[in-house]
Amino acid sequence: MMLGIDTSNHRVYEARDTYGGELLKPAPHLFNMHLGSTTAEAAKQLIVSKRGDSEFIFREDLFDPVARIRRGRIYFRQGSQNWHVYPANLAERKQLAHIQQLRPNVDCLSEHFMTYGPKYMGKDDKQLRFAAIGSTLDFSVWRIVSIDALTLGQQLITLQPVLFMGILPDVDASLIPAEIRSSLLDALESVANDMKRAMPSSVIDRCRGAAALALRSLDKSHGKDLAKLSEMAEKSTPPRLMAANCAKIINLLHTRAKENTRHDHQYREPTERDAELAVHCLACILTEFKWAK
């Protein structure tokens, strides 16, 4: 199905071709989109583009703020074309009736719309793994995680954000040791989920678990105690001083988050700033291990 956009009044029409277009109510959410093989490539194309000259648009069908996914369809620009559309209101029906007095066989109105056709992500597009959505001054970068074929021939694209709240980096799973890969990815997913809806103490606890998994890749004999793992990382060959100190900060925040410890030492309750610090430290550990950009 094709889309026709009447830029004069922001109406969006849909049709199999340019004849018989019907007005979409409510109007779908449409976003300028640029695709790229890397996050930087996708973002750069959008930043340097001018308003309205995006090659692709994203039609959002679903947005889940908790799961942080967007699902929708991609269309590519085909320029301005002549459309024949059904009247959308009383004024247009009267206009059509007047035309039919002279041309009885006419059942549509003729208009010129900016036209977009469905974009099919084929084998040649496998390298286009990232999408920048929005405008030059206000955009976000997303990863294409799945492409599903719809019964009517279009493709449903599922997107996930590359950066969780701008803190967690984009992790390359292939670089994580196989023995901890699945567990660490699950732990990072838990961190991302808690960042959206959990208390700061829960976010810190999740970061502690993920950091412990990362440091255990150096030596499993030290168990899951993050304090011991950070000491081990300091003495490893070569020394992992940055990762070790980040782990110590996470462990300190985790200790302060315990209710008994706060009561005994009169510590304040952890805040969102503390949770963000823990996530920043976790991000630094992932980067130090060269698992993330």
pLDDT at 127: 79
Place of tokens 């008994």: 260
pLDDT at 91: 66
> Which residue in 247, 246, 240, 258 sits closest to 200, CA to CA?
258
Backbone angles phi, psi at 111, to 5 degrees: -140, 155
Side-chain-facing half-sphere of 271: CA atoms under 13 Å: 3
CA-only gyration radius of the chain, Å: 26
pLDDT by position in tens, the chain (length 293): 889 988 877 889 898 888 788 889 898 999 999 998 877 788 777 776 665 568 899 999 999 887 778 999 999 999 888 887 777 766 667 766 766 666 666 656 777 788 888 888 887 787 788 888 988 777 888 889 899 998 888 899 999 887 554 567 878 888 999 999 999 988 998 888 777 667 888 899 999 999 999 999 998 776 788 999 999 999 988 899 999 999 999 999 998 888 888 778 788 888 888 988 999 999 999 999 999 87
Place of tokens 């950009």: 293
Whether the full predicted model's pTM is greater than 0.85, yes or no, is: no
Complete DSSP assignment for 195-215: HHHS-HHHHHHHHHHHHHHHH
Q: Could you give the CA distance from residue 38 to residue 293 in angstroms, rounded to a whole number?
A: 11
Which domains, from first to last, does the chain contain?
A: 2-161 (no CATH), 173-288 (1.20.120)
Complete DSSP assignment for 120-160: P--GGGTT--EEEEE-SSSEEEEEEEEEEE-TTS-EEEEEE
Strand 109-118 and strand 2-6: the pairing is: antiparallel
pLDDT at 157: 94
> Which residue in 268, 245, 246 sits closest to 257, CA to CA?
268
